[in-house]
């Protein structure tokens, strides 16, 4: 019991300290994916292994059990930036959806200890249309806008695969989402996925993330018009018993239908994770 109390106290202090840490200055730091994540408050406590586990694994298990923050995973195109139906190949092509940067800033300031990740398919890299350095420049531009609005992004997960050579990381496969969960040491039940496509929702379903928010921007624009035409008020929870499913794949139900990322964040911040 004493050990658990020590982990709780020091773990909480570690997350508080990390939550107040300096903003990420460049996307290179964010894109350097590390598989292990142990809060600073749990490092160096001199705790031995548990049930034959290594020191690091034991600490990670304690972290997930007692100190787990929530994780917000966002798609990029059509959620954060305007999706014009073509690829974003230059910084000049990137246009933030109104209110998106501020919504991410609201997560940062309203939910201390939460992590924010982006999971995005970018087959333009796999097709040779842009390089990884070009994509890094675009993301650094995006991060600058988010930081100026008081927000931050803790990790960006990119699947560069083309659809005909898709790996388990490319949505609708769950690879990038499980990667984000593992990197940030968050249980799937404490995660939220915000996306604009069925692929986003399927990836979340396959990753076991129960909090799925579908926005009516990007690929969801037509669904939003249909909801408006039917007089439906958003946000709206849609499940297997709902009379109006608006063409949503049964496999991803239940989902919350939201107007945009601003409405999705407002809803997500009220969910009991």
CB 72 within 8 A of CB 192: yes
* 129-169 confidence digits (pLDDT tens): 999 999 999 999 999 999 999 999 999 999 999 999 999 99
Instruction: Look at residue 73 in the predicted model and tell me its pLDDT.
Output: 98
CB-based burial, 124-154: b 16+ in 10 Å, e otherwise: bbbeeebeeebbbbbbbbbbebbbebebbbb
Catalytic residue among 77, 83, 161, 260: 77
pLDDT band at 16 (very low <50, low <70, confident <90, very high): very low
Instruction: Look at residue 112 in the predicted model and tell me its pLDDT.
Output: 84
CB 183 within 8 A of CB 37: yes
* pTM summary value: 0.76
* 191-223 confidence digits (pLDDT tens): 999 999 999 999 999 999 999 999 999 999 999
**pLDDT (mean) for 36-43:** 34
Asked about 137 being catalytic, the answer comes back as: no
Asked about 75 being catalytic, the answer comes back as: yes
Catalytic residue among 51, 75, 161, 164: 75
């Amino acid at each position: 019991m004493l050990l658990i109390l020590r982990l709780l106290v020091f773990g909480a202090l570690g997350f508080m300290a990390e939550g107040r840490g300096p903003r990420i200055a460049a996307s290179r730091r964010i894109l350097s994916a590390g598989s292990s994540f142990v809060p600073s408050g749990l490092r160096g406590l001199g705790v031995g292994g548990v049930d034959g586990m290594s020191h690091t694994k034991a600490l990670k298990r304690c972290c997930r059990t007692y100190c787990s923050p929530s994780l917000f995973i966002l798609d990029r195109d059509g959620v954060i930036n305007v999706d014009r139906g073509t690829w974003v190949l230059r910084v000049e092509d990137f246009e933030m959806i109104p209110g998106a940067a501020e919504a991410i800033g609201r997560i940062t300031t309203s939910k201390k200890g939460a992590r924010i990740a982006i999971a995005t398919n970018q087959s333009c890299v796999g097709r040779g249309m842009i390089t990884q350095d070009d994509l890094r420049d675009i993301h650094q531009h995006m991060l600058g806008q988010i930081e100026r609005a008081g927000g931050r992004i803790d990790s960006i997960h990119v699947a560069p695969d083309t659809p005909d050579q898709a790996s388990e990381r490319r949505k609708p496969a769950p690879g990038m989402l499980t990667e984000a969960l593992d990197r940030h040491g968050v249980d799937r039940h404490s995660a939220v996925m915000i996306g604009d496509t069925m692929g986003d929702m399927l990836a979340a379903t396959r990753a076991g993330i129960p909090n799925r928010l579908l926005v009516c921007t990007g690929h969801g624009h037509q669904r939003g018009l249909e909801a408006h035409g039917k007089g439906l008020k958003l946000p709206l929870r849609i499940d297997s018993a709902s009379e109006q499913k608006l063409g949503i794949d049964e496999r991803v139900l239940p989902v919350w239908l939201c107007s945009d990322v601003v409405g999705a964040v407002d809803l997500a911040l009220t969910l009991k994770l």
